[in-house]
Amino acid sequence: MPLLGAAPLGRLPWLLHAFTTREPANFNLNYSVAKTPATVTRNRKALLRALGRRWQLVTLKQRHTDIVRAVDRRPQGAGVLRERDGALKLYGDALVTNQPGLLLAVQVADCLPILLVDPKKRVVAAVHAGWRGTVKRIAEKTVGEMRARFGCRPGDLRAVVGPGIHRCCYEVGREVVERFEAQFPYWEKAVRRVKTSVPDVIWQQRLLSREPLAPGVRRPRPALTAPGEERLYLDLVEANRRQLVAAGVRARNIVASPLCTACRTDLFFSHRAERGRTGRMMGVIGITKRH
């Protein structure tokens, strides 16, 4: 099972983290997009076996919100669901814990899986960041929750941005760019503008005929096309990197995968590239021992 990781987190002996791929055999980990739920159950159990420890998997009912769920014990009670494989499921788009044995998971297929770690307090977080969550500052609010709930200092945090869609493939509408412009002073750093290659002037009518026109009919003037329009591409990685820095995370403590899910559908699921008919991967993180 090919699991991806980041060297800065791999050096922490008390920490486990991983990003799954679509291998082996379209390794979908989400029930809501599965043709056969039993396959997802089997895949999740295989993942936990590959990670080599007894884990309580904790997932999210993700809805592109800014809701951060702190899990300081095994969650139970109202609002906590149990999935077919025994995983606990909470509503929101980020999870934070300082408890060993809880494997926090976010599910993605173009959105960014962001993992945060405080190596001093031994607190971890998993964040699901699409463009809507990014506009709502989900990464920044997760840092805030780590600070408020567990006393983490942002300058101590390490952040890893896993594989997601990159600006080479993530074309968005002007309304999305306007949302970023309204929220972030650095919005232009997260937007790539591309001019379409339409000639400046294209005659849309054939040359005027010399044939006489009917009485009362005016000879039409040739029409021109509008100038080439601008195409806009969003850099989710850069937007979240700058958001983390603005929240107090040191730039040198942030690493991001260079892999684009839409470019590499041989390796990853991509909602955009596969037109919504695809599975989901996971970014997971957990504490193996308290001290």
Q: Does residue 179 sit within a domain?
A: no
Q: Does residue 103 sit within a domain?
A: yes
SS3 159: strand
pLDDT tens-place values along the chain, 291 residues long: 899 999 999 999 999 999 999 999 999 999 999 999 999 999 999 999 999 989 999 999 999 999 999 998 777 666 799 999 999 999 999 999 999 999 999 999 999 999 999 999 999 999 999 999 999 999 999 999 999 999 999 999 999 999 999 999 999 999 999 999 999 999 999 999 998 765 444 444 444 455 566 666 665 554 444 455 789 999 999 999 999 999 999 999 999 999 999 999 999 999 999 999 999 999 999 999 876
> CATH number, domain at 271?
3.60.140.10
Partnered with residue 126 across adjacent β-strands are 95, 115
Q: Does residue 186 sit within a domain?
A: no
How far apart, in whole angstroms, are the C-alpha atoms of residue 88 and residue 48?
Answer: 14
Q: Does residue 140 sit within a domain?
A: yes
Q: Are 98 and 123 spatial neighbours (Cβ–Cβ below 8 Å)?
A: yes
Structure token pair of residue 104: 């926090």
Nearest to 137 by CA among 240, 290, 17: 240
How far apart, in whole angstroms, are the C-alpha atoms of residue 69 and residue 82?
Answer: 16
- Exposure of 197 by Cβ count < 10 A (0-12 exposed, 13-18 middle, 19+ buried)? exposed
How confident is the model at residue 129, as a pLDDT?
A: 98
Structure token pair of residue 152: 């983490």
How confident is the model at residue 73, as a pLDDT?
A: 75
Q: Does residue 39 sit within a domain?
A: yes
Q: Does residue 26 sit within a domain?
A: yes
How confident is the model at residue 206, as a pLDDT?
A: 44
How confident is the model at residue 166, as a pLDDT?
A: 98
How confident is the model at residue 224, as a pLDDT?
A: 46
If one counts the domains in the chain, the total is 1
How far apart, in whole angstroms, are the C-alpha atoms of residue 257 and residue 164?
Answer: 8
The range of the structural domain enclosing residue 271 comes to 7-166+250-287
How far apart, in whole angstroms, are the C-alpha atoms of residue 204 and residue 210?
Answer: 18
Q: Does residue 200 sit within a domain?
A: no
Residue 269 falls in which region: left (phi positive, over 0), alpha (psi -120 to 50) or beta: beta
Nearest to 209 by CA among 201, 220, 225: 220
Q: Are strands 88-91 and 56-61 parallel, antiparallel or unpaired?
A: parallel
Partnered with residue 150 across adjacent β-strands are none
**3-class secondary structure per residue, 30-60:** CHHHCCCHHHHHHHHHHHHHHHCCCCEEEEE
CB count within 10 Å of CB 255 equals: 15
Nearest to 267 by CA among 12, 19, 39: 19
Q: Does residue 155 sit within a domain?
A: yes
**CA 236 from chain center: how many Å?**
8
